[in-house]
Amino acid sequence: MERKTADELSRLREAGRIVRSVLDEVAAAAQPGTRTQELDRLAEARTRERGARPAFKGYLGYPASICISVNDEVVHGIPSRRALQEGDLVGLDFGVVHRGFFGDAAVTVPVGRVPEAAQRLLAVTREALARGIAAAVAGGRVGDIGAAVQGWVESQGFSVVREFVGHGIGRRLHEPPQVPNFGARGTGPVLEEGLVLAVEPMVNAGRPEVRTLGDGWTAVTADGSLSAHFEHTIAITAAGPEILTLEGA
């Protein structure tokens, strides 16, 4: 695990601000009738305007700039000519690289009006992220984050995806340690000051199992239930976790 210097943290903050500004604009554009490939083009254009480049495009062969996952799609959905419809849930997972450092964040947004059950899934998943981040304190353990997420999600009648987890981030998009959204408190690597993590709960309305579609990327819930995904890049500091991809930053 690599602890970041003050200069490296400064660059990570810059990357985080770009991620957030682009992600907010794409989320606002996720309206009924909008094609997901239009959102992909918007994300790439706005990123390059800010002097950065999309982190996901070409990563391990991924063909787009942003992952767009709709309804029962958990993560890694590929943008296409698919038009969003009223009532859809749209997961937007996005990263950039800027001045040699990566930022990564995700949000799930409703398209128009969505059923109350979908609204509750969004609220529970957003709160799971907040609780996971609150547990990310210097001197604690990575397992504290997963335990906080899992405990909350399962208490609300939902389930946590096991196949995909959070991760360290810095000069590489994925660095040690892995940050599961499940586990036991007091287990896993120690959270040291200067460590930067991407914390990203993925929560299913039904069972936790997922399967991957024939495109080799898109993961969907095995039972067809809705899924939601929220993510922030955070830094472990003496004063508590610092969110580098904070809304409104």
Q: What is the pLDDT of residue 249?
A: 53
Q: Give domain 6-243's CATH architecture.
A: Alpha-Beta Complex (3.90)
Q: How many CB atoms lie within 10 A of CB 184?
A: 12
pLDDT tens string 15-43: 999 999 999 999 999 999 999 999 999 99
Average pLDDT (79-86) is: 98
Tokens 């996005």 correspond to 94
Report whether 220 contacts 210 (CB < 8 A).
Answer: yes
DSSP letters spanning 112-146: SS--HHHHHHHHHHHHHHHHHHHT--TTSBHHHHH
Q: Report which residue type is found at 91.
A: G
pLDDT tens string 117-160: 999 999 999 999 999 999 999 999 999 999 999 999 999 999 99
Average pLDDT (47-62) is: 98
Judged against a pLDDT cut of 90, whether residue 248 lies above it is answered with no
CA atoms within 13 A on the CB side of 123: 9
Structure-block tokens of residue 146: 């997963």
CA 167/CA 75 separation, integer angstroms:
15
Average pLDDT (181-196) is: 98
CA 92/CA 26 separation, integer angstroms:
8
DSSP letters spanning 147-191: HHHHHHHHHTT-EE-SS--EEE-SSSSSEEEEE-SS--TT-SSB-
Q: Report which residue type is found at 102.
A: F
Q: What is the pLDDT of residue 46?
A: 98
Classify each residue of 141-157 as buried b or exposed e, where b means 16 or more C-beta atoms within 10 Å of its C-beta: bbbbbbbbbbbbbeeee
Domain edges within the chain: 6-243
Percentage of the chain modeled with pLDDT above 70: 99
Threshold 0.95, pTM exceeds: yes
Answer whether the bond into residue 177 is a cis peptide, omega within 30°. Answer: yes
Average pLDDT (89-97) is: 98
For helices 116-134 and 142-155, what crossing angle results, to 10°? 160
Report whether 43 contacts 67 (CB < 8 A).
Answer: no
51: left (phi over 0), alpha (psi -120 to 50) or beta: left
pLDDT tens string 193-233: 999 999 999 999 999 999 999 999 999 999 999 999 999 99
Question: pLDDT class for 85, splitting at 50, 70, 90?
Answer: very high
Q: How many CB atoms lie within 10 A of CB 17?
A: 18
Q: What is the pLDDT of residue 41?
A: 98
Q: What is the pLDDT of residue 247?
A: 76
